[in-house]
A = this chain, B = another copy of it.
Amino acid sequence: NAGLTDVREAVAGSLSAESGVKLSADHVVMVCGAAGGLNITLKALLDPDEEVIVFSPFFVEYLFYSDNHGGKTVIVPTHEDFSLNFNELRKALSPKTKAVIINSPNNPTGVVYSRAMLTELAEVLRQHTSDTGNPVYLISDDPYKKIVFDGVETPNIMELYENSIYITSHSKDLALPGERIGYVAVHPKCADAESLMSGLIFCNRVLGFVNAPALIQRAVKNVQDVSVDAEMYRKKRDFLYGELTRIGYSVVKPQGAFYLFPKSPIKDEVAFVQKLAEKKVLVVPGRGFGSPGYFRISYCVPDKVLEGSIHGFENAFSEAMK
C-alpha cells in the first residue's frame, strides 16, 4: 500500500511548504528507503530499452536500478567542478530518454546544484519534451538534502519542473542508518501523474517491498521538519578540506553531504587507494562512481579518526609525488 494516510499527509504538507507546490497524501508513497523508491519508480516508468541519464560521478547502484527493470543507463560527464554539463546532456538526450536522475548534494562529490543550474536543467528537459513529444521525468534522489553548509539553498525540484519525482530517505537526515524509511513524491502536474501513482503502489507491492515499515512510518511522521545538526559535518568538512589542500590535493569544496572527492595525485587511483589503505586510510576508487582518477572520502566518522588520517594522507601524497 501507499503508506499510512496521516504520515503521507505530513510528508505532503512539509513538501508543499518547501516547494510551493500543493501536494496531498495522494501524491506520496511511503517506501523502504530511497533505493527502494528508485527501484519502484524505474520499474513503473521504464519500457524495455528506454534510457535513463545519470551524471558522472554517480552513486554506482544507479546502474543496477535501471538494469533491474529492462532500462539502459546513459552516463553524462560533468564539468571539472562537478557542475552539470548541459552541452553533454543535450548530446545524450534521445527519443528513448525516459528519465534523468540527479543527486544533490551529490554522492560522491558533496556538490550542491544551484537554483540557476536546476532551472537551466528544467529548461533543457522541457525543450526536449516539446521537441520529441516524449516527457522526460526528472528524478531527484536526495537523501542528503538537509545536510548542507554555508547557508546554501537546495531548491526542491518540484518548484522548477512539472515532470518531477522527488525521492528521499530518512537514513541520513535523521541519522537512522539501517532503518528502511523514505518516500516517493510525484508532482501533481506530472505527465500521467495518476497512473504513475498507481504504478508506484503496484510496483512497491510486487517488487516485494509491500509497504514501508509501519512503526518507523509513525516515528518519522512528526519529525518531517527536523534534521541532524549539519554544523557537525561542516566542521569536519572544513578541517579535512583544509588539511587536504594544505598537503597539495586538488579537491572541489563541497557544500553538502559528508563526502570529499579529491583527484588522485597519480593517474591510477586504484593504486593510490591501495597506498592509502597501507597507511590505514580507507577510501573508495573513483572508477566505482564512473570517474577514474579520483577517490571518495566519507568523513562521517569521529573527529579522532579524521585527525588520525591526516598523517596517512600526507605520507601517501609525498610518496606518490616522488
Count A interface residues, CB 8 Å: 30
CB distance from A159 to the nearest CB of B (A): 26
Contact (Cβ within 8 A) A179 B214: yes
Chain B residues with CB under 8 Å of A65's CB are: 206, 208
A35 at the interface (CB under 8 A from B): yes
Contact (Cβ within 8 A) A214 B178: yes
Contact (Cβ within 8 A) B39 A207: yes
A215 at the interface (CB under 8 A from B): yes
Chain B residues with CB under 8 Å of A178's CB are: 211, 213-215
B-contact bits for A97-131, CB 8 A (1 contact / 0 none): 00000000000000000000000000000000000
A254 at the interface (CB under 8 A from B): no
**The one of B179, B181, B210, B213 that contacts A35, using a Cβ cutoff of 8 Å:** B210
Contact (Cβ within 8 A) A215 B214: no
Chain B residues with CB under 8 Å of A212's CB are: 180
Chain B residues with CB under 8 Å of A180's CB are: 32, 180, 209-213
Contact (Cβ within 8 A) A179 B213: yes
A33 at the interface (CB under 8 A from B): yes
Cα–Cα, bound, A68→B70 (Å):
10
Q: List 16 A-B contacts (CB under 8 A).
A: A32-B180, A33-B210, A35-B205, A35-B209, A36-B209, A37-B208, A43-B68, A61-B206, A64-B206, A65-B206, A65-B208, A178-B213, A179-B213, A180-B210, A215-B215, A215-B216
